[in-house]
Structure 1
Amino acid sequence: MGRGRHRGRSQRKHFKESRENVWKRPRTDPTVDASDNAVADKPSWEPILTDNPNFEEYYKEQGIVRAEEWDVFMEILRKPLPAAFRVNSNSQFCDDIISILENDFVKSLQAEAIEGGELEAIKPLPWYPKNLAWHSNFSRKQIRKHKTLERFHEFLKLENEVGNITRQEAVSMVPPLFLDVHPDHFVLDMCAAPGSKTFQLLEIIHGASEPGTLPNGMVVANDVDFQRSNLLIHQTKRMCTSNLIVTNHEGQQFPGCRLNKSRASEKGLSEDMPINQLSFDRVLCDVPCSGDGTLRKAPDIWRKWNSGMGNGLHSLQVILAMRGLSLLKVGGQMIYSTCSMNPVEDEAVVAEILRRCGDSVELVDVSDKLPELIRRPGLKTWKVRDKGGWFTSYKDVPQNRRGGVLVSMFPSGKNLTDSTQTTQNNENSGVNASEDGCKETDKSVVDAIPDEPVVEVSDLPLERCMRIIPHDQNTGAFFIAVLQKVSHLPEFQEKPNPRKHSSTKNADSTEKAPTEEAVVTADAEPVESPVEKVIEADADVEKDDSLVEPEKEKNVEGETIKGEKEANSLSHAGDKRKVPMQGKWKGFDPVVFLKDETLIDSVKEFYGIRDESFPLYGHLVTRNTDTSSVKRIYYVSKSVKEVLQLNFAVGQQLKIASVGLKMFERQTAKEGGSKPCSFRISSEGLPVILPYITKQVLYSPMADFKHLLEYKSIKFPDFVNKQLGQKAIDLVLGCCVVILSDGEEPVKVDASTIAISCWRGKNSLGVMVTSADCQELLERLAERTPKTEVGSVNGSNGDSGGPAEAMETA
């Protein structure tokens, strides 16, 4: 997807050359009086221009649509993008949300749709399974601004906040559907922010699991940008999952965390750890791109767009995709995708991947999947545009332009006139065009008359790629390719590449044979494939690319065995390239397994959790090395636990921004005094631990349950059900769980069970749930309650409202 984070150097360049900086909007002159700025014949704002002659010339020349379609294509690009959203299939109210959409909003918004010239206001996306994804014929701006759409807007906001729906562009929902994820898969989302696709992957991972059980799979969501990682964490937090790790690495240097067994035994670690390197069954590589497929959503791109944006990102995209394949298990699949229409970022990258990998990687034909999704085949031929003009073949590129126009950007991927010179140029530019590990033939070139332009046509099966064009189904544009790793990537013994340096070492490849060959001894020279060596060389080149922002601190998470050897030689005082320990990453808290048995036993005893049914030992982590002042405790699944153990064993190479599910939080009470347990159950963790709690549980009828949600606190004598009030008094001071029940006790917990965390204070019971969650639960319960009961509930106990008296957040 498009990323807006590589602007600093281009801005400085524009300043030096006194050129207009299109990335920065002009501001009004503060020295001029406001009344003078607001001239009657000159409005204070100007509409965004949806026109760029360079854009039209470029894509006409590339032939991405037929000539007779061009006007329709451009017309829809200039229209706002319709809003789309997806219902969380794992939400306990999934069926309720779909029912509201089908039976309420489809009808109530119909008048507005007809007024706007549309046949339908909202409708399910026909290609998305089980009516879980919906398309609205209103843009996001219309939904926010129109008074008649206010109720629909409030519905979307609330359900999005509590995690029942995710607002997401329709074409952005496509890649995870083609990834064929299973509940036991390890999945890597390489460039994950803002997190909507990660949320989808987690839904699929959890989809086949029974309530209260955790899948064997997991998702590692990575993004290079720290701020965007925070957005990613906020987005995925709504999923309430313990099967997620969020990391903050450059994707092209994502660590493989290879475990050296001999050194593991020296450290007292088990030699039969479940995993000895980090590799994945599925990889989603949704790379940074120019983003011109999002013009309808981000019209500001119209004035910024130029062909150099795609050219400048091409090498980074190749490196990211190659790193993703090196982390992929044999037999696994990877999605390469962009929200760009530019073939230099799309088909050219896929073609270069196939050339580098030879027969070890296959471009999968998925034309029989999701038949209702209209897609077009990938291009077989295209041109490259540079400030010097158009080029149909690399041989036509002047020598002084070959630093910016690479051979891999062309359909054949090679210099047709001088293969020796091409190889040398490729080495200098960080692009591998050697014969090692790559299959290249002359079939990719159409015979041409000498001195006339050579029209290149790729002989690779690029028609298996998918292009989603905006006017086919009223969406944005997207490019998707499904790659399968059928064997280990090409590799051979060779001395380390002299070009690489310690900050870009990246030989954590998973491409070694199983068992003993997968473990390299400390004194052995790493076995590197040509693919990995090119990744390293390209990474060096990318450090100087104006479109790639270098990290402020040197990154060694992709250390080779040599780097690990240096890092562990503590006697060498002069070593500068030591593997940083977790917690020493700037701005990141450490990840620590909680081993305080007294604390864990107190939690187990207080809530009646049997370790054999829901093990806590080994599954609880904190972000504080001082366990005496722990505020939050996170629960991790078995798969995440194994990855964390591996990470510790290899020197904690993963830069972890977030891990696990917040299960317990420290709580203090106004009353003071000692409590058997100082930790309450968090709302996020309650659905997971609920089936295993046998103490501190109340079963509430509908009337009192609604009272709690409405008034947030109820004094014990004020309960409608007096027996419930007495049972609340009998509870131990501290956190408790209130389960909605029709009178039967105990209730068998399943997907439909509704429960909330509360605090049993000295005189009252207080709710420990956010206002948004309370409001959402009340709305869902109102749909299930007869109107007579709703009236009686709302009219009683009106004096019991107010803040919770019994608790105060630590």
Structure 2
Amino acid sequence: MSFAAFAFTIVHNKYTYNLTTFLSLNHNTAINNSLFLSQCKAIIRGATMGRNQRRKGGNGEKRDRNGDWKADNRDDQTLHNAALEKFYRGKVIAEEEWETFIACMRTPLPLSLRVNLSLPHAEEVANFVGQQLSTVFTTTRLPFYPRGLGFQCDASRADLKRNIEHKHLKRVISALNEGGYITRQETVSMIPPLLLNVQPGHRVLDMCSAPGSKTSQILEALVGSQNSGVVVANDVNSSRLDVLNHQTNRCPGAHGHTIITNGDAMMYPLMPDEDSKFDRVLCDVMCSGDGTLRKSMDMWSRWNTLQGADLHSSQCRVLTRGMQLCKKGGVVVYSTCSLNPIEDEAVLSDCIEKSKGSFRLMDPSTLLTGLKGQQGRYNWVLTTKDLDAELRTMEEATAYREAREGKGFAYRPGMFANEERLKEQNMHHAIRVLPHQQDTGGFFIAALECVSEYPNSTRPAPAMAPEKAFKPITEQLKASIRTSLGLPETFPYDNLYFRNEVAREQKIYYICDTGREMMSLLQANVAQVGAKIFEAYIKHSNDKLRFSGEGVQTLAPLLPANFIVKTTDAQLLLDLHSVGMNTSVFCRRAGVTAESLPVHSFVLETPLPNGLDCVRVAAETNFSVVTAKLFDWQVTLLKLALGQPLVDAADKDEGGDEKDDNDATAEAPES
């Protein structure tokens, strides 16, 4: 046998590809030219398709021969798992409901969203959103969501994204989402923050917070109070913190109430005393995720009966630490996107037992009126991985393992149902949301009230605490802010933090009073503090600062009135976004005098219709030229207010899968 190497160059769509292939040749082998050429085309197609298409396993061809989008490929043969049916059918899911349940699990998850509860005209925004959605989809309001501000459509997110005719609606929804007016979020994901019942001034810990949709929902309850209340959002995965930071920054004015930490929830540092603990703690723990089968189709082939058992111990540790961090009178909410009792009732029961009476389950019915769900269970059965045995007690599990000479999974006593104890703990107060009941994903949720201090749950701060990444600004930096921006002495300088006084690109962050107090108590690794409100526009300089567009919603209420320039000319903002404008022209169009403009940076705002309040942007004057940078969502809403088209002819002709403005923050599996 001999080997021949062919190196050749192909020019395709203005790109050049150097391809080398090794062919095995002998006297019985002939090169099939058509096969060879088809393989070359496949290589080119793989090289030219988008990164996302390769990652998603796509073949670079998203349309059929008629140019229509391909439907979501789902079939009963692929979406089937014998172990799943053996474990749940007739046990967790009643026999008479099974066919309805499994049929629902094989359908795409419907698009759902909620309106920001903290908006001053939230109902008006909801009416506008409902009107926009109803032009394309059949839309209903979620019965359990407060004030009717939650929506669910009869189509999936993919339907909105892929259909060319929906581009206008998609851009409106994306802009409203990026602006913090709405949040695209799974219906069941909205439940835990509602059950927390967060009030203004509360200190809240979200232990496993990324990607952040629940965290942003919690923050909305704190925005009403300017200087009180804080959310500490933690996640163990540092690569998800940027998405978390972006999500929390969307809610207008909420980022000043946020501290993001990076650490293992199972070992989150304890607080120094009972008074410094949290009023609310959310434990949305990692789980097997079988409640997400409607959107995670690859899980159908991977699911097995031991996935939940593998996670049980870690889930117990996270919930236990959450209970230790909650103060007396506070509330801990435990949730998973799994339907498995080993991850749900078993974890709750085990942790309540270990709390020695300091926690009890709460009745959630008054906070979740209209939500359909199954009460927590008093009994369940475990199925072995090979499906050859069902285990109801620890004794049966021990005997099963001994019969196999110690081989097999090592079950723990807390995984099995203790019916007497479960009834004493009022496990019926927990809720299991089944997908077919309200056309949602699967979910489990429970609320625990702290009735007394958890034993041995405080730890004094170390005498030599490690230096934190974020520090209060120095007097020198304070003087630089006053000099470069002209802010008065009454500005809340004590609430400003920074990373490095001689940073290459200086950034100054604002945190509310409660957040500042929390910064002195936290012993966790802080990755982000508050909202970025000032930034350097000349590198390595603290004397050349300007307002940051990212934090303008937080900054505006803190500024004196002369730093806010209001105009009704929405086109003015769009013109500034395209190119700078002479100061005299700007003043004439904005209806202000040049003398009234701040020395350098100011906030420019214009009202919006439909209850959307206003668009605020950070503007600045340099050498008699006014400039401002708008975000894409602001451009979209301004065009909408002016009646300008959001989709031009080129977009309609091109079609295709345009980049989603919200891809970075789309709801991802949180468990």
The TM-score with structure 2 as length reference comes to: 0.78
* Aligned equivalent of 1:100: 128
* Aligned equivalent of 2:69: none
Which residue, 732, 736, 749 being the options, matches 2:602? 736
Question: 1:519-538 to 2 correspondence within 5 Å?
Answer: none
The residue identity in structure 2 corresponding to 1:619 is N
Which range is displaced more, 308-317 or 147-156? 147-156
Cα gap change, 1:681 to 1:199, in 2 (>3 Å): same
Higher strand share: 2
Return the offset for 1:770: 2.4
* Aligned equivalent of 2:115: 87
Cα gap change, 1:30 to 1:198, in 2 (>3 Å): farther
Which residue, 768, 773, 782 being the options, matches 2:642? 782
2:526 aligned with 1:656, yes or no? yes
Cα deviation, 1:747-780, whole Å, max 9, x if unaligned, reads: xxx994654221212242111332432332342x
Q: Give percent identity, aligned residues only.
A: 31
Secondary structure, in 3 states, of the residue corresponding to 1:721? helix
Which residue, 53, 66, 70 being the options, matches 2:82? 53
Return the offset for 1:353: 1.4
Instruction: Provide structure 2 residue ranges, at least 5 long, that are not aligned to the other structure.
Output: 1-20, 24-34, 43-57, 62-72, 646-671
In 1, Cα distance between the equivalents of 2:595 and 2:542? 16
The residue identity in structure 2 corresponding to 1:71 is E
Question: 1:229-628 to 2 correspondence within 5 Å?
Answer: 229-239=241-251, 240=253, 241-258=255-272, 278-387=276-385, 389-398=389-398, 399=402, 400=406, 404-412=410-418, 443=420, 459-490=424-455, 509-510=457-458, 564=462, 568=464, 581-582=467-468, 590-597=469-476, 599-604=477-482, 609-612=487-490, 614-616=491-493, 618-624=494-500, 626-627=501-502
Q: Which fold has the larger relative contact order, with Cα–Cα distance below 8 Å and residues 6 or more apart in sequence? A: 2
In 1, Cα distance between the equivalents of 2:260 and 2:607? 37
2:38 aligned with 1:35, yes or no? yes
- Contact 1:759–1:768, Cα closer than 8 Å, also in 2: no
Which range is displaced more, 275-284 or 328-337? 275-284
Cα deviation, 1:408-461, whole Å, max 9, x if unaligned, reads: 001129xxxxxxxxxxxxxxxxxxxxxxxxxxxxx55xxxxxxxxxxxx75532
In 1, Cα distance between the equivalents of 2:560 and 2:598? 15
The residue identity in structure 1 corresponding to 2:279 is D
Aligned Cα RMSD in Å? Answer: 3.3
Which residue, 240, 255, 263 being the options, matches 1:228? 240
Which residue, 622, 635, 639 being the options, matches 2:514? 639
Instruction: Provide structure 1 residue ranges, at least 5 long, that are not aligned to the other structure.
Output: 1-28, 114-120, 259-274, 414-442, 445-456, 492-508, 511-518, 521-560, 569-578, 583-589, 648-652, 670-674, 743-749, 788-810
- Contact 1:716–1:729, Cα closer than 8 Å, also in 2: no
In 2, Cα distance between the equivalents of 1:605 and 1:230? 32
Cα deviation, 1:276-300, whole Å, max 9, x if unaligned, reads: 8741111000110000001101111
In 1, Cα distance between the equivalents of 2:221 and 2:603? 29
Cα gap change, 1:226 to 1:676, in 2 (>3 Å): closer
Cα deviation, 1:140-171, whole Å, max 9, x if unaligned, reads: 11111122322222222222223222111100
Cα gap change, 1:351 to 1:730, in 2 (>3 Å): closer
Which range is displaced more, 369-378 or 732-741? 732-741
* Aligned equivalent of 1:438: none
Secondary structure, in 3 states, of the residue corresponding to 1:397? helix
In 1, Cα distance between the equivalents of 2:319 and 2:607? 51
Cα deviation, 1:594-628, whole Å, max 9, x if unaligned, reads: 1134x42453466564444x421x2111121x347
In 2, Cα distance between the equivalents of 1:405 and 1:319? 16
Cα gap change, 1:340 to 1:30, in 2 (>3 Å): farther
Question: 1:645-794 to 2 correspondence within 5 Å?
Answer: 645-647=520-522, 653-668=523-538, 678-691=544-557, 692-702=559-569, 705-706=572-573, 708=575, 711-719=578-586, 721=588, 724=591, 727-728=593-594, 731=597, 734-740=600-606, 752=613, 754-779=615-640, 781-782=641-642
Return the offset for 1:656: 1.0
In 2, Cα distance between the equivalents of 1:151 and 1:175? 32
The residue identity in structure 1 corresponding to 2:100 is V
- Contact 1:335–1:480, Cα closer than 8 Å, also in 2: yes
Which range is displaced more, 705-714 or 363-372? 705-714
In 1, Cα distance between the equivalents of 2:348 and 2:371? 22
Cα deviation, 1:470-520, whole Å, max 9, x if unaligned, reads: 1110001110111111112346xxxxxxxxxxxxxxxxx23xxxxxxxx86
Cα gap change, 1:201 to 1:317, in 2 (>3 Å): same
- Contact 2:576–2:629, Cα closer than 8 Å, also in 1: no
Return the offset for 1:179: 0.9
- Contact 2:331–2:450, Cα closer than 8 Å, also in 1: yes
2:105 aligned with 1:77, yes or no? yes
Cα gap change, 1:718 to 1:610, in 2 (>3 Å): closer
Return the offset for 1:646: 2.8
Question: 1:133-144 to 2 correspondence within 5 Å?
Answer: 133-144=150-161
- Contact 1:93–1:164, Cα closer than 8 Å, also in 2: no
- Contact 2:617–2:628, Cα closer than 8 Å, also in 1: yes
* Aligned equivalent of 2:141: 124
Return the offset for 1:722: 6.4
In 1, Cα distance between the equivalents of 2:479 and 2:300? 60
In 1, Cα distance between the equivalents of 2:110 and 2:344? 25
Return the offset for 1:53: 0.8
* Aligned equivalent of 2:198: 181
In 2, Cα distance between the equivalents of 1:138 and 1:157? 16
* Aligned equivalent of 2:163: 146
Return the offset for 1:682: 1.5
Secondary structure, in 3 states, of the residue corresponding to 1:366? coil
- Contact 2:271–2:325, Cα closer than 8 Å, also in 1: no
In 1, Cα distance between the equivalents of 2:514 and 2:182? 27
- Contact 2:232–2:260, Cα closer than 8 Å, also in 1: yes
Which residue, 201, 207, 217 being the options, matches 2:229? 217
- Contact 1:756–1:767, Cα closer than 8 Å, also in 2: yes
Return the offset for 1:36: 5.7
Secondary structure, in 3 states, of the residue corresponding to 1:345? coil
The TM-score with structure 1 as length reference comes to: 0.65
Cα deviation, 1:337-360, whole Å, max 9, x if unaligned, reads: 100000010011111112212322
Return the offset for 1:202: 0.3
Cα gap change, 1:37 to 1:679, in 2 (>3 Å): closer
In 2, Cα distance between the equivalents of 1:316 and 1:682? 40
Which residue, 90, 95, 114 being the options, matches 1:67? 95
The residue identity in structure 1 corresponding to 2:266 is Q
The residue identity in structure 1 corresponding to 2:150 is A
Return the offset for 1:591: 1.0
